[in-house]
Amino acid sequence: MTAFDAIVVGAGQAGPSLAVRLAEAGQSVALVERSLLGGTCVNRGCMPTKALVASARAAHVARRAADWGVAIGGAVTAEMPRITARAQKVATDARGNLQRWLAGVDRLRLVQGHARFTAPFTLQVGEEVLTAPRIFLNVGARAVVPPAFASVPHLTSSSILQITHLPRHLLVVGGSYIGLEFAQAYRRFGAEVTVLERGPKLLPREDDDVSAAIRSILEAEGIAVRCGAGEIAAAADAAGVTLRFGDGQSVNGSDLLVAVGRQPNTDELGLALAGIAVDGRGYITVDERLQTNVPGVYALGDCNGRGAFTHTAYNDFEIVAANLLDGEDRRVSDRVQGYALYIDPPLGRVGMTEAAARASGLDVQVATRPMSRVGRAVEKGETAGFMKVVAEAGSGRILGAAILGVEGDEAIHGLLDAMHAGVPQQVLRWAVPIHPTVSELIPTLLQGLR
């Protein structure tokens, strides 16, 4: 048995940074990883998928070149082996940088293998037994594949990053963030694409106007969208896969992407042997400081159900490190929730939707402004989408916002930062932003609150 001061299980976004902080504070640390360093973001998520999206945008802009007065001779085609290789290189380079960083840290030992609890504060990794008074779980999540699709050839958000062919017709089951990003990318590469969503609209977490605008953007590019599909049955055939809906209609495609959600990687950790509680969906239960029901054991990132993003996982690290090493008292509830959907144009989101704000009983004011009235969008020739902000009447507290439009994923930070600082809209509307930018319309947007 090998004893450490701390064991970190999982080298995703939170794990390596926490392991390094602990080691630099003088503790002996084991960082255990069963697969690839970097976790989902580096290997199967943000980095390779956004590299893919960048290639898709290049193809889209090239086809639209004439709109900007630029002539391109010949057809624009996607060379999928090169596109896939580029995305993989982005991930490989990031993984290599992480490997070199960790190798240079004293008192930090990287252990390759699958960790499983055999007793409280004791983990078996291969033939080795590790123990520590503090254990940090950063084990991530994986794609869910319902039984209806498991028996037919299918792709997930991980395996689709490995294909080097262009699907003739890509069927995407799941009309949410992951599915829509891949749908638009492969449509821009030249595939026929159909998106099928069981519920009544795309992106069920978003307001109806945001959802409808995103659907219009995708349909304008030739993506077929079918909402309200209900229960979907799948069958393999000579042409690929056929999906049948609850109303008897069907669609055939050459390739099937299943993007209906994710589940935490907690089912093979032996958590019960350590007395660590999970909820009904398998997420590790944590308090405001990310400690589990077992004092000394913490859960960070996707596996704790308190955020499903790289930036929330990293903030989990920041919270734990600040509390344990810096004498602070940081809590999960301190952070303002923000995220983005990386279709093109992107959706930047922060805080509450209008529907959620009204459902909470608050006295709500709302303002919207089409991107067609944003000078930067007009100049760039990209005017799809709109801005929206939700505030509380009287106090002026900004409750939430959405910017669906060019550079929306960056411009949203002006509102996110104001919400974090507790700045009311009456103050923010007097900011003097730089012209010409997308962000410069935020004060004008706020003046329209009604």
Catalytic residue check, 420: no
Q: How far is CA 11 from the centre of its chain?
A: 17
Q: Where are the beta strands (DSSP E) in 10-121?
A: 29-33, 108-112, 115-119
User: Residue 247's CB: how many other CB atoms inside 10 A?
Assistant: 9
Report d(CA 7, CA 208) in Å as an integer.
Answer: 45
Report d(CA 149, CA 326) in Å as an integer.
Answer: 48
Length of the chain counted residue by residue = 450
Which residue in this structure is represented by tokens 């103050």?
427
Contact in structure between 410 and 438 (CB atoms under 8 Å): yes
Can you read off the two tokens belonging to residue 292? 């589990």
For 177, the 3-state DSSP assignment is helix
Contact in structure between 30 and 3 (CB atoms under 8 Å): no
First to last CA, the chain: 65
Contact in structure between 404 and 377 (CB atoms under 8 Å): no
Which residue, 113, 139, 110, is CA-closest to 126? 113
Report d(CA 379, CA 377) in Å as an integer.
Answer: 5
For 131, the 3-state DSSP assignment is strand
Report d(CA 114, CA 127) in Å as an integer.
Answer: 11
The burial class, CB within 10 Å (0-12 / 13-18 / 19+), for 225 is buried
179 torsion bin: left (phi>0), alpha (psi -120 to 50), beta (else): alpha
Report d(CA 314, CA 18) in Å as an integer.
Answer: 9
Strands 297-299 and 134-137: parallel
User: Residue 272's CB: how many other CB atoms inside 10 A?
Assistant: 10
What amino acid positions are annotated as catalytic residues?
435
